[in-house]
Chain A
Amino acid sequence: MKTVVFENVSKIYRTRYYQVSALKDINLEIRRGEFIAIMGPSGSGKSTMLNLIGCLDRPTEGEIYIKGTPISGLRDDELTDLRRNTIGFVFQQFNLIPTLSALENIELPMIFRGTDSGERRKRARKLLEIVGLEDVADRKPVEMSGGQQQRVAIARALANSPEILLCDEPTGNLDSKTGEQVMEILAGLRDEGVTVVLVTHDESLRRYAERVVRLRDGRIVDVSAVSS
């Protein structure tokens, strides 16, 4: 089964003075449970692609199917439901809510889903344990290191048990050792059947992926399986 399908997708950013073709005629299928890496030079359209999968943005042309559903016909609230229930985001800048503690940040997606508080607490604690951060539960983001913040962000992304995890340079702001810790967590998720889409510059991360998609100027120039 195909979790994500791109069908002749183009994305054009129009501003008042110029327009940019960020993606041109992309066709791609991502299988369920696959760990796929999207690589390419800066400005090649990696983030654009990830945002489209994440239903944060809509394609200018073509269609994207998430679990078989074409997203072009969905309303804002339906896209939000899809993001909340099916997709998890991990960003390069961690993007935790500064006023909330680690535990509360992890609870937030469950609050938006309407999970009751007891269950929420329990799951948040369990997720903290999975990312190895039981002891920072009550700390605010500013009181944590980058690696800790990113692990909290991963725990938050997993709160509603997403089927697809989208990571935009998750190790970009981390040193190589903490980066590796984060990658190990992501690899573990793949083993549990989560589809992971990883955007990265870092060639050394290729080894975690099953397939690598290479972009250049908004086009896929290569799709290759990684032999491990």
Chain B
Amino acid sequence: MYLQLALRNLSRTRVRSALAVIGIIIGVTAITSIGIFGENLKKTVMESFGDIANEVIVLPNSQEGFSFIDERTVELIRKSPYPAAVIPVKADSFEMTYKNQKRFVTVYGLDERGVNELFDVAEGTSDLKPGKTIVGSQIAESLDLRIGSRITVDGKVYRVSGILEEQGARFDIRPDNAIIISERDHKADIFAVIVKLENLGDIEGFKSYVQATINIKDKKVEILEMKSILDRIEEAFGQINLFLMAIAGVSLLVAGVSILNIMLMSTIERTKEIGIMRAIGAQKPDILKIFLMEAGILGISGSTVGSILSIAGGYFVTKLIIGEVSEILSMETVLFAVEGFVFGVGTAVISGLYPAWRAANLEPIEALRYE
């Protein structure tokens, strides 16, 4: 019955109510679709990092004067109780020549297993016997390198056995503009050991193992965790998203103000009615309930339409900017829609609170006398 009363009061000022609902729809759609877009953007970026979350990079602690990682340390890492691929990496830069073209390139020293763990080969094989080289995609393109091409690096001749696929974003090794030779051909020291743990949960354990075995006397090595870097990136995305949503939230705020406004008008117009109801026995909470219900109805109807629209809106914005959407109704999308709904209804009810409170606290006799 209260619901009916509220509904009828709203339909009495149909245009006004519709405008308020439109305000809520816009607000909810704005924050929710931006939220969904941001989430999709984050997902796309995180996916481009591939599965490096389980990587830990052991680096020499330069602050303590260590500039490379010795064999013994590599041995200790290999002996860790946590199942992992251990990939020592050597690096240096050299002049390289191919058909009279000269370049300075980064030269990595790896073994075959390391290449297979870290990269995908686009052409040729991952053969890294001494005298062979695998080249990055960009350098292959700019120098027009083929399988079997002979290149000279630091006075020695290597034959190209493979060309890598273009690699996504990485933090440790950037092979696109580099070449890879066998670590046995590479005279430099090991500058990093990449440890790909089989289980994500072993990261902490591995770290304490390193502290307990390698860093006992001197702090010889530092550990860079891909996971914590990725976590931080993800967090940053989350914050940016929140910020964008807050900006979109301004439109919801405006919708809230418009509800506040129409509800206030409504309480003033209905002062006499409120007086009548109080005279025939309505308690303050009854009046409060009627007005809050009106605000709630505006909020619920606007938010329902808004969150449905924003699922579509989020999809289109994502499609427009990122180009592809993995799924329309993912867990996160629905979560954002629900969040938008809750915010919409919350805004409406909070905006209705003051007018409803005012209506409930009118002096019955004064309200009754109002014309």
Bound-complex Cα distance A151 to B11 (A) = 27
Q: Contacts A99-B12, A111-B1 hold; do A85 and B281 have CB atoms under 8 A apart?
A: yes
Within 8 Å of chain A (Cβ to Cβ): is B80? no
Interchain CB contact under 8 A, A100 and B5:
yes
Partner of B5, one of A80, A99, A109, A156: A99
Interchain CB contact under 8 A, B1 and A156:
no
Bound-complex Cα distance A77 to B361 (A) = 12
Bound-complex Cα distance A113 to B279 (A) = 13
Chain B 257-283 near chain A by CB (<8 Å), digits 1 or 0: 000000000000000110011111111
Interchain CB contact under 8 A, A160 and B283:
no
Partner of A112, one of B9, B280, B364: B280
Interchain CB contact under 8 A, A99 and B281:
no
Within 8 Å of chain A (Cβ to Cβ): is B286? yes
Partner of A56, one of B2, B9, B273, B364: B364
Interchain CB contact under 8 A, B277 and A108:
yes
Within 8 Å of chain A (Cβ to Cβ): is B42? no
Within 8 Å of chain B (Cβ to Cβ): is A147? no
Chain A 84-115 near chain B by CB (<8 Å), digits 1 or 0: 11001100000111111000100111011100
Bound-complex Cα distance A157 to B12 (A) = 25
Partner of A76, one of B2, B284, B286: B284
Partner of A109, one of B12, B281, B284: B281
Query: What residues of B have a CB within 8 angstroms of the CB of A99 in the complex?
Result: 5, 8-9, 12
Nearest-neighbour CB distance to chain A for B168, whole angstroms, equals 63
Within 8 Å of chain B (Cβ to Cβ): is A54? yes
Q: Contacts A56-B364, A99-B8, A111-B1 hold; do A83 and B276 have CB atoms under 8 A apart?
A: no
Interchain CB contact under 8 A, B280 and A156:
yes
Within 8 Å of chain B (Cβ to Cβ): is A72? no
Bound-complex Cα distance A149 to B283 (A) = 24
In the complex, which of the residues B2, B284, B364 has the most CB atoms of chain A within 10 Å of its own CB atom?
A: B364
Chain A 50-90 near chain B by CB (<8 Å), digits 1 or 0: 01001011000000000000000000110011011100110
Bound-complex Cα distance A157 to B8 (A) = 23
Interchain CB contact under 8 A, A84 and B9:
no
Within 8 Å of chain A (Cβ to Cβ): is B305? no
Nearest-neighbour CB distance to chain B for A186, whole angstroms, equals 17
Bound-complex Cα distance A51 to B282 (A) = 16
> What's the interface size class on B, roughly?
20 to 34
Partner of A113, one of B12, B272, B273, B281: B281
Query: What residues of A have a CB within 8 angstroms of the CB of B364 in the complex?
Result: 56
Interchain CB contact under 8 A, A84 and B281:
yes
Bound-complex Cα distance A108 to B279 (A) = 11
Q: Within residues 1 to 16 of chain B, which ones have a CB less than 8 A from any CB in chain A?
A: 1-2, 5, 8-9, 12
Interchain CB contact under 8 A, A89 and B279:
yes
Within 8 Å of chain A (Cβ to Cβ): is B368? yes
A-B residue pair count with CB separations less than 8 angstroms: 61
Q: Contacts A56-B364, A76-B284, A107-B1 hold; do A97 and B279 have CB atoms under 8 A apart?
A: no
CB closest chain-B residue, reference A159: B280
Query: What residues of B have a CB within 8 angstroms of the CB of A85 in the complex?
Result: 281
Chain B 1-38 near chain A by CB (<8 Å), digits 1 or 0: 11001001100100000000000000000000000000
Chief secondary structure at chain B's binding surface: helix
Within 8 Å of chain A (Cβ to Cβ): is B329? no
Query: What residues of A have a CB within 8 angstroms of the CB of B365 in the complex?
Result: 51, 56-57
Interchain CB contact under 8 A, A112 and B282:
yes
Q: Contacts A99-B5, A112-B286 hold; do A83 and B280 have CB atoms under 8 A apart?
A: yes
Interchain CB contact under 8 A, B282 and A80:
yes
Interchain CB contact under 8 A, B281 and A95:
no
Interchain CB contact under 8 A, A77 and B276:
no
Nearest-neighbour CB distance to chain B for A188, whole angstroms, equals 21
Bound-complex Cα distance A220 to B74 (A) = 110
Bound-complex Cα distance A96 to B280 (A) = 11
CB closest chain-B residue, reference A117: B1
Bound-complex Cα distance A109 to B277 (A) = 8
Bound-complex Cα distance A156 to B9 (A) = 20
Interchain CB contact under 8 A, B282 and A56:
no
Interchain CB contact under 8 A, A97 and B277:
yes
Interchain CB contact under 8 A, A84 and B280:
yes
Query: What residues of B have a CB within 8 angstroms of the CB of A95 in the complex?
Result: 272, 276, 279, 368
Q: Within residues 179 to 220 of chain A, which ones have a CB less than 8 A from any CB in chain B?
A: none
Bound-complex Cα distance A81 to B286 (A) = 12
Bound-complex Cα distance A77 to B278 (A) = 10
21 A-B pairs with CB atoms under 8 Å apart are A56-B364, A56-B368, A57-B365, A77-B283, A80-B278, A80-B284, A81-B281, A84-B281, A85-B281, A88-B280, A95-B272, A95-B279, A96-B276, A97-B273, A111-B1, A111-B2, A112-B277, A112-B281, A112-B286, A157-B280, A160-B281
7 closest residue pairs by CB, A with B: A84-B281, A99-B8, A112-B281, A56-B365, A109-B280, A57-B365, A95-B276
A residues adjacent to B (C-beta < 8 A): 51, 54, 56-57, 76-77, 80-81, 83-85, 88-89, 95-100, 104, 107-109, 111-113, 117, 156-157, 160
Additional pairs, 7, CB under 8 Å, beyond known A89-B279, A95-B272: A80-B282, A83-B280, A96-B276, A99-B5, A109-B281, A112-B281, A112-B282
